A and B are shown apart, each in its own frame.
Chain A
Amino acid sequence: MGRMTFVFRRLLQLVPVAIGVTILVFFMIHLIPGDPAQTILGIHATPRRVALLHQQWGLNRPLISQYWLFLDRLLHGNLGVSLYYGGSAASLIISHLPPTLWLITYSSVLAVLISVPLAMIAASRKDGARDHVVRAVPLIGLGMPQFWLAFLLIYAFAIKFHFFPVSGWGSGFFGHLRSMFLPSLTVALALAPVVIRSLRASMLNVLGAEFITTAKSKGVAGKRLFLRHVLRNAVIPAITVLAINIGFLIGGTVIIENVFAIPGLGQLMINSIFQRDFTVVQGITLVFAIMVILLNLVADVAYATLDPRVRFSR
């Protein structure tokens, strides 16, 4: 199967999931207790505003046609009108996208840089002292609230030693690189335990494979064996592990953006919640889900490109 066919088939598989995502996001409004429009606008809202919202959301129509209205607007790139700012929710969300994409990319890179060496150290001698130390990392790391970890890093690197700024996302490429280091490191450190755990397991798997035995019997040993034979075959699982946990990573960015005052989607989401700006919260929820779906698709394609066996087996 060619690569294009593979991508096309994966895209087709995504259609039901994408439809399901829009249904769930649409239903958010009906989870609001009482009359959604009244609850969102508060008790002091004028009946006219409430009626206007009813009309905008089509609340007086049957459920199916409400969803149809929602979907029709969505396909035209219309996420509704921000209740707080008054402008288009879609353009508000797009303007907050860059810092979040920066944070996601930066922390993915840092997570790989942290996890791969540690997983290699652990796998190089199973049940050795170093293996036990690395295996203890997830036990502590998984119970660590990310925002708390962020405070510790701020205290150490921004307050005690003024290496990095306490908040903001800087300006220009290098400004971003410097200001976003602590936030990205926090997200990466929170993700690392999960990645290390899976990577260690997959490296041990590779080490037990027949081609490694062959390589060893040919006299390949030490660093060369690890870099050329084990690492190459362990990179593919690393991509998969990252892709599986992309939701965890994105969830982390939402929280970390609020700790470091980074003007991304996560900060917009929490601010909108406090301004009771339902449309924007709904829009961001949808955008995050689409992001997860797309990143998973990218990872699948990368996976199929790196490992031809995947393409042929499906």
Chain B
Amino acid sequence: MSAIPLTPEPGLPGAAPPPAAAPGARAERGEARRARRWYTQPALITGIVIMTVVLALAIAAPLITPYNPNAQNLNATLLGPSAHHLLGTDQLGRDTWTRLLYGTRLDLRIAFLAVLFPFTLGTILGSVAGYFGGWVDTVIMRVVDVVLAFPFYVLVIALVFVLGPGERSIYIAITLAGWVSYARIVRGEILVAKRQDYVLAAQSGGLGSVRIMRRHLMPNVISQAIIYSMSDIVQDIVAIVTLSYLGLGVPPPTADLGSMISDGQNFLSTHWQLTTIPGLAVVVVGLGLSLIGDGLADLLRPGEA
């Protein structure tokens, strides 16, 4: 079960075309698919460009800026933008541009990792529930109902509190609160897909349930989960930033967009840019990922182009 292919390949690799499809229909499908090549999607392209730039800046942060994100200089506090400090400095004289790059780097890393666990857990439980049905389905979906009764933030905050501070707690909390959406999406897709002829054919051919789920159903149902994961990463970044604003996330002085925003809070009336800039960074990342999600949804939508 651990080898479920998580490749975000838009072309649905290994998806066997339904045997019932007439040759004419197959040609039409090919036509539609060719018309929907990824580079013809403006939303997808814009999103990819935004995310490429952001990721490049985040990864190359040490090469781009000469400063240490945590180095204080009390002789140069609260400066405006200049040639030395592109975006000025904060109340401790730390370079804002540097902290922005390192903060984005950290928050993106946590968010991308944090989305992997609920994705995997939710996909596995959702496909088991959808495929087997019966009491397995009832039990899993009841647990989903229970988790959904808690507001996402309330559950994440409460879990981070009981688990103690640190990155590990953030991963666990987001996983326990976030897997339910994936489980619901994948279960719904499986319920439809398992009645298709190719699944019946595989079943009558005597293939085992795990093999059918992994090799036959998964490539066909995973695309919806991948599309959702884009908006889920956005939600997780916002959650991580919010946790550190509340003082429950990444501990200071580590540069992180949330703590930058809350540091700037005290200087809102005089130096509003300290609060605005890190928030804008979050919005840009969110925009990039949402555009990719929308583009993927258009690309992977079955039927008409």
Within 8 A of A (CB), among B256-289: 258, 261-262, 264-265, 268-269, 272, 275-276, 279, 282-287, 289
B272 near A155: Cβ-Cβ < 8 Å: yes
User: B163 at the A/B interface (Cβ < 8 Å)?
Assistant: yes
Residues of B within 8 A of A269 (CB): 154, 157-158
Beta-carbon nearest neighbor of B272 in chain A:
A155
* Distance (whole angstroms) from the CB of B247 to the closest CB of chain A: 7
Task: State whether the Cβ of B10 lies closer than 8 Å to any Cβ in chain A.
Answer: no
Chain A interface, >50% SS class: helix
Which B residues touch A247, using CB under 8 A?
A: 148-152, 154
User: What mask results when residues 156 to 173 of chain B are scored 1 for a CB within 8 Å of chain A, else 0?
Assistant: 011101111000000000
Q: Report B154 CB to chain A, min CB distance, Å.
A: 5
- A133-165 Cβ-contact flags toward B at 8 Å (1 or 0): 000001110111111100110110001000000
Q: Which of B142, B146, B231, B287: most chain A Cβ within 10 A?
A: B146
In the bound complex, how far is the Cα of B258 from the Cα of A246, in angstroms? 24
Question: Which secondary structure characterizes the binding site on chain B?
Answer: helix
Which A245-292 residues sit within 8 Å CB-CB of chain B?
246-252, 254-255, 258, 269-270, 273-274, 278, 281-282, 284-285, 288-289, 292
Question: B151–A288 contact, CB under 8 A?
Answer: yes
Interface flags, A3-46, vs B, CB<8A=1, else 0: 00000000000001100110110001101110000010000000
Which chain A residue has the least Cβ–Cβ distance from B270?
A159
Is residue B221 within 8 Å, beta carbon to beta carbon, of the partner chain? no
Task: Please determine whether B282 and A285 come into contact, CB atoms closer than 8 angstroms.
Answer: no
Flag if A144 contacts B286 (CB, 8 Å): yes
Residues of B within 8 A of A281 (CB): 158, 161
- Once the chains bind, are A145 and B151 in contact (CB under 8 Å)? no
Q: Which residue of chain A has the shortest Cβ distance to B291 in the bound complex?
A: A139
Please count how many residues in chain B sit with their CB below 8 Å of the partner chain's CB atoms: 52
**Closest B residue to A293 using CB positions:** B149
Q: Which of A29, A142, A258: most chain B Cβ within 10 A?
A: A142
Are the C-beta atoms of A251 and B279 separated by less than 8 Å?
A: no
Nearest chain-A residue to B290 (Cβ)? Answer: A139
Inter-chain contact total with CB atoms closer than 8 Å: 150
Task: Give Cα distance in the complex from A16 to B283, angstroms.
Answer: 39
B 129-147 binary contact with A (CB < 8 Å = 1; else 0)? 0000000000000110111
**Number of residues from A at the complex interface, CB < 8 A:** 50
- A23 / chain B contacts, CB cutoff of 8 Å: 146
Do B145 and A20 touch across chains, with their CB atoms under 8 A apart? yes
A18 to B219, alpha carbons, bound, how many Å? 36
Q: Residues of B contacting A138 with CB < 8 Å?
A: 290
Nearest A residue to B163 by beta-carbon distance?
A31
**Which one of A143, A281, A284, A285 has the greatest number of beta carbons of chain B within 10 Å?**
A143
Asked whether A142 and B242 contact (CB < 8 A) given A31-B163, A251-B151, A292-B150, the answer is no
Inter-chain CA distance A281–B145, complex, in Å, is 22
Contacts A17-B149, A255-B153, A293-B149 given; does A146 touch B242 at CB 8 Å = yes
Residues of A within 8 A of B285 (CB): 143
Contact pick for B146, options A24, A146, A148, CB 8 Å: A24
B150 near A17: Cβ-Cβ < 8 Å:
no
Q: Assuming the A-B contacts A143-B290, A288-B150, are A148 and B279 also in contact, with contact meaning beta carbons closer than 8 angstroms in the complex? A: yes
Q: When chains A and B are docked, how far (Å) is the Cα of A39 from the Cα of B242?
A: 25
Identify the closest chain A residue to B47 (Cβ): A139
B38 proximal to A (CB < 8 A): no
**What are 14 sample pairs from A and B whose C-beta atoms fall under 8 A apart?**
A140-B286, A143-B289, A144-B286, A145-B238, A155-B275, A247-B152, A248-B151, A251-B152, A254-B151, A255-B245, A284-B154, A285-B154, A289-B149, A289-B151
Give the 5 A-B CB pairs with smallest separation, nearest first: A143-B286, A251-B153, A20-B146, A148-B279, A251-B151
Q: A146-B238, A151-B261, A251-B152 are in contact. List 6 more A-B contacts (CB 8 A).
A: A31-B162, A139-B290, A142-B235, A143-B285, A155-B269, A249-B151
